[in-house]
Chain A
Amino acid sequence: MIHYDENIIQLIQLYLVSDLSGEEKRLLETWLQQDPSHKELFDRVCMNGDVARDFEAFEKIDKDIAWKHVSGMGGIKPTAKSKGMHWYRWVAAVMLPLMIVAVGYYIVNDSGKSQRTKYKVTEIQPGKSKAILRLDNNRVIELAGEDEVRLEVAKGVAVKNNASGVVYPEQVANKGETVYNVLEVPRGGEYTITLSDGTMVYLNSGSELRYPVAFNSDVREVFLSGEGFFEVIKDTARPFLVVTDDLKIKVYGTSFNVNTYNLANIQTVLVEGKIGIQEKNSDVEFAVEPGQLALYDREKGTMEIRDVDVLSYVAWKNQEFVFDGKSLEDIMNTLSLWYDVDVFFQTASLKQLHFTGHLGRYEDISHILDAISGVTQVKFSVKGRTIIVME
């Protein structure tokens, strides 16, 4: 009997996309020498495929059109779900914990499917580029980011605003003359800002960033609430600090995501570079490495650092939602900010359902609602700008 170790299978796959560490290479080599059948499998795999070429071909195969043919020939009626079918990934990865082990959910679904209706969501639109700029003198400017305009945001300082966001001119302020601006991104909005040192910040819906029009010569300090992705320009002479309600994040030239939406915790995820995090009134600094999440528990005041899939935390910036084993409650919170809707759980236990899946941020919200209701007993009812979640 051939025995395959699951780890070895993964190593072979990683080998195919040329991403093995030295340690892993040695593991694989040892395994190959253990038994001639191992070598045989490995050689077959290497001989019979070419990942770059084959994946290109794989991608070109349209399974939705194929499904139409197959369901046509097999006499399967097209269902209301077929439109959002690329959503099927959701199905594959739905995890049903404790709460609803829907033994019969396919039966329920199978009979209920034909009369399933699309949610009326014409009023609900995905978010778009918009923000409000609050100046030092309390003047307010609405930014929509289309045609390029120049705006005076402080005495003698003009910023450029266009489709790629608002850009502050490069300059250094004299000591004691720091003038602040605040960029507010409403629910259903997103916005990009380039600060006076060249640092870029992507702000997500329902977020706010307060920052000096020009940083002074010894420190670069900004204040964040909500969620922002930072690409910080390296400047060893002037450390960059992100201050939130409870935390101070010290940056050493890097890109990372800070999320303070959750009332219970603050999530900081580092993509590259190095950051150190302190509680506001503490000197203890937690170092965070790339690929790690620093989870700060607001109530207990504790910090937990662990390795995560960074992609799912920063996907929003790349026009995607990636939910990786997220609870329905978290998912609905995210959607409520982006689509600017209110969510009400009629059945509280549904909050604990967990899902894994992708969604384009600019897609219609009905796709995701369809996908979820298609595989579980969850139903959604949309009334104006409120989504009711029920069983």
Chain B
Amino acid sequence: MSRDEELIEQLNCKYVQAFRELFDRFYRYLVLYAMRWVERQETAEDIVQDLFVQVWERDTCYSSYYGFKNFLYNSVKNASLDYLKHKEVEGKYIKYTILHAESGEEPELEIMENEIYRRLYQVLDELPKRCKEVFKYYLEGKKNKEIAELLQISELTVKTQKRNAINYIRERLGALYVLYALFRAGFM
């Protein structure tokens, strides 16, 4: 059994450690996801925390890792939209967001899209501190020379760190193949 499916089985049996691991895997990305609608980080965090408390307290049995992910993304989205609906201020923008979000979404595409970002951020977050700093500037479109000046390191070091980062990202993303193979099996 894969680690992912194992986690779900353990979650169903209420193992704290499995719950914590799933929390660690999803929490930050889900907050980011909620912020597509609710904007304020605090509100987004409340929504996602409530959701996890629910996951822990309810006796739902999840059938698969994919099913669990599906549930998380859906719940966060619905809770975010509910929040907007209940808010008294109903600006045009909010109306538009709700309308837009509710019109014929394709859940598979949506999950896929989110998983692409979630796993990418997870891998970026694993980079060692210095390497990550360099890479973030690079993502912002800064040139090697600018990065070197900002961080007071040599251009050579910038280049090296950048390449290290890329190598690491490539390798780690490669290691995720298994995940996606499973994901496919999950809803075929």
Taken residue by residue from 125 to 161, chain B's Cβ proximity to chain A (1 for < 8 Å, 0 otherwise) reads as: 1101111000110011100000000000000100110
The answer, yes or no, to whether B113 is at the interface (CB within 8 Å) is yes
Q: Which of A318-353 contact B (CB under 8 A)?
A: 318-320, 322, 324
Interchain CA distance A317-B49 in the complex, whole Å: 38
- Contacts from A to B (Cβ < 8 Å): 1-4, 6-7, 9-10, 12-14, 16-19, 37, 40-41, 44-45, 48-49, 51-52, 54-61, 63, 66-67, 69-70, 73-74, 76, 79, 85, 88-89, 91-92, 106, 109-110, 113, 231, 255, 271-272, 290-291, 309-312, 314-315, 318-320, 322, 324, 358, 374-375
In the complex formed, the residue of B with least CB distance to A61 is B28
The answer to whether B181 and A6 touch across the interface, beta carbons within 8 angstroms, is: yes
The answer to whether B128 and A315 touch across the interface, beta carbons within 8 angstroms, is: yes
- Other A-B pairs, 8, CB within 8 Å; known A40-B109, A61-B41, A70-B23: A3-B184, A49-B117, A52-B140, A61-B31, A66-B45, A67-B20, A231-B156, A322-B128
The residue that B27 contacts in the complex, of A16, A48, A61, A311, with Cβ under 8 A, is A61
User: Would you give the shortest CB distance from B173 to chain A, in whole angstroms?
Assistant: 5
The answer to whether A17 and B160 touch across the interface, beta carbons within 8 angstroms, is: no
Interchain CA distance A67-B109 in the complex, whole Å: 29
The 6 A-B residue pairs whose C-beta atoms are closest, nearest first, are: A74-B56, A52-B139, A6-B177, A311-B164, A61-B28, A6-B180
In the complex formed, the residue of B with least CB distance to A41 is B109
Known: A48-B113, A61-B41. A106 touches B15 (CB 8 A): yes
Known: A61-B45, A73-B53, A110-B16. A55 touches B25 (CB 8 A): no
- CB neighbours (8 Å) of B160 from chain A are 255, 271-272
The answer to whether A44 and B113 touch across the interface, beta carbons within 8 angstroms, is: yes
- CB neighbours (8 Å) of B176 from chain A are 6, 9-10
B110, B168, B181 — which one has the most chain A CB atoms within 10 A of its CB? B168
- CB neighbours (8 Å) of B49 from chain A are 66, 69-70, 73
Interchain CA distance A48-B111 in the complex, whole Å: 13
The answer, yes or no, to whether B69 is at the interface (CB within 8 Å) is no
The residue that A109 contacts in the complex, of B17, B36, B121, with Cβ under 8 A, is B17
- CB neighbours (8 Å) of B159 from chain A are 272
Known: A4-B180, A4-B184, A110-B17. A41 touches B112 (CB 8 A): yes
- CB neighbours (8 Å) of B181 from chain A are 6
- CB neighbours (8 Å) of B183 from chain A are 4
Secondary structure at the A interface, as helix, strand, loop or mixed, is: helix
The answer, yes or no, to whether B167 is at the interface (CB within 8 Å) is yes
Interchain CA distance A309-B23 in the complex, whole Å: 28
Interchain CA distance A79-B140 in the complex, whole Å: 39
- CB neighbours (8 Å) of B121 from chain A are 54-55, 58
- CB neighbours (8 Å) of A320 from chain B are 128-129
The answer, yes or no, to whether B170 is at the interface (CB within 8 Å) is yes
Known: A56-B136, A358-B126. A63 touches B116 (CB 8 A): no
User: Would you give the shortest CB distance from A187 to chain B, in whole angstroms?
Assistant: 23
The residue that B17 contacts in the complex, of A2, A70, A91, A312, with Cβ under 8 A, is A91
User: Would you give the shortest CB distance from B159 to chain A, in whole angstroms?
Assistant: 7
Interchain CA distance A255-B160 in the complex, whole Å: 9
Task: Report the interface size class on chain B.
Answer: 35 or more
Known: A52-B140, A63-B23. A311 touches B119 (CB 8 A): no
The answer, yes or no, to whether B18 is at the interface (CB within 8 Å) is yes
- CB neighbours (8 Å) of A322 from chain B are 128
In the complex formed, the residue of A with least CB distance to B50 is A73
- CB neighbours (8 Å) of B141 from chain A are 52
- CB neighbours (8 Å) of B98 from chain A are none
- CB neighbours (8 Å) of B125 from chain A are 55, 58-59
The answer to whether A55 and B124 touch across the interface, beta carbons within 8 angstroms, is: yes
Interchain CA distance A45-B141 in the complex, whole Å: 19
Known: A12-B116, A13-B120, A358-B126. A63 touches B24 (CB 8 A): yes
Known: A66-B45, A67-B23. A4 touches B56 (CB 8 A): no
- CB neighbours (8 Å) of A324 from chain B are 171
Known: A88-B21, A106-B10. A9 touches B109 (CB 8 A): no
User: Would you give the shortest CB distance from B131 to chain A, in whole angstroms?
Assistant: 7
User: Would you give the shortest CB distance from A116 to chain B, in whole angstroms?
Assistant: 12
- CB neighbours (8 Å) of A88 from chain B are 20-21, 24
- CB neighbours (8 Å) of A13 from chain B are 116, 119-120, 173
The answer, yes or no, to whether B57 is at the interface (CB within 8 Å) is yes
- CB neighbours (8 Å) of A9 from chain B are 112, 116, 176, 180
The answer to whether B18 and A106 touch across the interface, beta carbons within 8 angstroms, is: yes
User: Can you list 26 residue pairs at the A/B interface with Cβ under 8 Å?
Assistant: A2-B109, A9-B116, A10-B177, A14-B169, A16-B116, A17-B139, A17-B166, A19-B169, A37-B109, A40-B109, A48-B36, A55-B125, A55-B139, A60-B41, A67-B20, A67-B27, A69-B49, A92-B3, A110-B15, A110-B17, A272-B156, A311-B168, A315-B128, A318-B129, A320-B129, A358-B126
